[in-house]
Amino acid sequence: MSSPDLGQPTPGAPAAQVAPAASPGVALAASDFANDVGARNAREAFGNYIQRLRGGDMGALPAVGGLIVLVIVFASISGGFLSKGNFANLLTQAAPIMLLGMGLVFILLLGEIDLSAGTASGVSAAIMGLALTQGGDLNQALGTPVYVIVLLGMLAAALVAGFYRIWIAVGVIVLGALVMLTSWDQYAIPGIFVAISVGVAIGTLVGTMVAKIGIPSFVVTLALFLGWQGVLLQFLGNGSAIDVRRNDFIFNLENSNFSPAVGWAIWAVSIAAYLGLTFGRSFRRRRAGLTAEPLLVVALRGFTLAAITGVAVYVLNENRGRTVFTKIEGIPKIIPVVLVLLVFFTFILTRTAFGRHLYAVGGNAEAARRAGIDVVRIRVAAFIISGAMTAIAGIALASRLGSIPSDFGGRNTLLFAVAAAVIGGTSLFGGKGKMRDAVIGGLVIAIIPNGLGLIKDIPSSYELMITAGVLLLAASVDALSRKRTSAR
C-alpha cells in the first residue's frame, strides 16, 4: 500500500465511494476497456507496434537499423571486420562507452546534460590508479594538501547526500573515504570501491549545483569538463600516465576472457532468467485480467534474443588467437559486468518508485512536484547514479588502455557516450529513454572507429566527422519524433 510514513489516505474502493449503485458509470465498467487487455494476438501486437512507429515512437529501431547498415558497409569494405578477433575487440571497445552512456541515460531522462562525465571518469580512475600503484598511500601519491582537499570534498558530498536523505550515497562516500585513509586501496576491489565513491561524491556535488542552486547543467558540466582535466593533471603530477597493467584484476576486465564453459553457463542462466521473467509476467497479468503481451510475441522476442546472443557466445568461444601458439577464446570479462548493470538499472528504472519519479520529473517537473515528489532529491539522485557509472566506465577504460594518461576521458569520450544513448533512443528532451539504449547505441558508436580503423589509408579526421554526423542524425530523429508525438 502507499507508504505509511506519509500518512496519506490509502486508495480505497473509489468505485464504491464515487459511484453509488444508481450511477450509470458502473454498468460501463465491463465494456469500457474492452480493448484494454493489450493486443490479443501477435498480429494485433504487430499492428500496435507499427502504429507506435508511425506515432513517432521509434524505440530501438533506428539503432538496430544503423547497426545493420554499418556492419554491411564495413564488412564489404574490409575483410578483417567480420573476423572473430575483431568481434571481441568491438565489444571491449564498446564497453566503456556503454557504461558511460548508461549513467548518462539518467541525466538525459531529466532533460539535463553532463558534459563532464568523461573527464570526471578520469578523476575517479586516477585516484584508483594512484592507490593501486603507490601501495595505497594516497597521501604520498597526491601530496598532503591535495589529499586533504579530496577528503574534505568527499565529506562535503556526504553531508549534502545526507541532507537529501540519499543514504546509500552517504554510506558509499564515507566508506570510500575511510578506505582511502587505509592502505587497503592498493588492492583492486577496495580500489574500485574508492573510485566509485569518488564518482558518487562528484555526482552529488554536480547534482546539487544543478538541482538545488539551479545553474544550468550545461554550464556546470562545461566548466567541470575543463576543471576535471585540470584536476587529473594535478593528480598526475609530473605528467606521466598511471600504469595499471600491473594490477591483474583491473587489467583483466577488458583484456581477459571467461572460459567457454563459463561463457555458455552465463548465457544459459541469463536466457533462462529472461524467459522465466517475461513469460511469468505475461501469464500473471493474463490471469489477473490485465494488459498482457501475447505469448507468441514474448516467445518470439525471447527466441530472437537467445539466438543472437547464442551466436555471439559461440563466436566468442572460438579460438581467435593470431598464431598457433596463442589461444584466445571466451567472452571478455567486461561483458557480463555490462549485462549485470544493464539488468540492475533497468530494474531501478522500470520497477521502482524512484524510476517512475525520475521519468515524471523529466516529463513534467511541475506535475511531479504537485504529486508530492521531491524533485530536487530525484535530480540529485540521478546525478549520483550517473557519477557512480562514470567511475565504473573510467575503470573499464583504464583497463582497456592499460593506463591513465593526462587526456583520459577527454576528447571525444563524452560525445561517444551521449551519442550512444541518443542513438539508442533516449531523448535529449527528457522523460524518454531506456537503459538498453546505451548498450545498443554504444555498439553502433563503437563500430565506427573500429570499422574505419580497419580500412587502410583512411585519415583519422574521418572518424570524428562521421561520429559527429551520426550523433546529429540521431538527435534529428529524436527531435522529429518528439514533434510528431506532441502534434496532437
Partner 1 sequence: MPDSPLLELRGVNKSFGPVHVLHDIDLKVYPGQVTALVGDNGAGKSTLVKCIAGIYPVDSGEFFFDGKPVSFSGPRDAAGLGIEIVYQDLALADNLDIVQNLFLGREIRKFGMLDEATMERKARETLASLAVRTVKSVRQSVSSLSGGQRQTVAIAKAVLWNSRVVFLDEPTAALGVAQTRQVLDLVRRLADNGLGVVLISHNMNDVKEVSDHVAALFLGRLAADVETKDVTTGQIVELITSGRSGSMGLSAAATNASM
Residues that bind partner 1 (CB under 8 A): 1-3, 6-15, 17-20, 23-26, 28-29, 32-33, 35-36, 38, 55, 284-285, 288-291, 351-353, 356-357, 359-360, 362-364, 366-373, 431-432, 485-486, 488
Nearer to partner 1, 43 or 246 (CB): 43
Closest CA relative to residue 446, chosen from 455, 434, 438, 435: 438
Distances (CA, A) of 124 to 119, 145, 433: 9, 18, 26
We find the least distance from the C-beta atom of residue 419 to partner 1, in angstroms, to be 22
CA angle in degrees (0–180, nearest 5) for 382-388-394? 130
Distances (CA, A) of 213 to 164, 205, 207: 14, 11, 9
Do 108 and 349 touch, CB atoms closer than 8 A?
A: no
We find the least distance from the C-beta atom of residue 290 to partner 1, in angstroms, to be 5
Nearer to partner 1, 360 or 435 (CB): 360
Nearer to partner 1, 32 or 248 (CB): 32
Residues 6+ apart with CB under 8 A from 455: 74, 77, 78
Nearer to partner 1, 50 or 367 (CB): 367
Nearer to partner 1, 12 or 239 (CB): 12
> Dihedral (C-alpha) 234, 387, 217, 228: value to the nearest 10 degrees?
10
All three cell numbers of 222: 562545461
We find the least distance from the C-beta atom of residue 206 to partner 1, in angstroms, to be 24
| Helical spans, DSSP H, in 78-166 | 84-109, 117-133, 138-142, 144-163
We find the least distance from the C-beta atom of residue 359 to partner 1, in angstroms, to be 6
We find the least distance from the C-beta atom of residue 174 to partner 1, in angstroms, to be 24
Which residues partner with 257 through β-bridges?
332
We find the least distance from the C-beta atom of residue 428 to partner 1, in angstroms, to be 13
Report the C-alpha gap between 39 and 293 in whole angstroms.
Answer: 6
Nearer to partner 1, 366 or 457 (CB): 366
Which residues partner with 403 through β-bridges?
243
Closest CA relative to residue 181, chosen from 137, 218, 149, 216: 137
Nearer to partner 1, 190 or 355 (CB): 355
We find the least distance from the C-beta atom of residue 24 to partner 1, in angstroms, to be 6
Do 394 and 192 touch, CB atoms closer than 8 A?
A: no
Report the C-alpha gap between 53 and 69 in whole angstroms.
Answer: 19
Nearer to partner 1, 96 or 431 (CB): 431
Looking up cell 592499460 gives 402
Residue 403: enclosing H or E segment and its boundaries?
strand 403-404
SS3 332: strand
> Is the C-alpha dihedral spanning 455, 461, 462, 468 positive or negative?
positive
Distances (CA, A) of 264 to 275, 300, 331: 16, 21, 9
Nearer to partner 1, 324 or 353 (CB): 353
Residue 461: enclosing H or E segment and its boundaries?
helix 461-486
Nearer to partner 1, 327 or 484 (CB): 484
We find the least distance from the C-beta atom of residue 283 to partner 1, in angstroms, to be 12
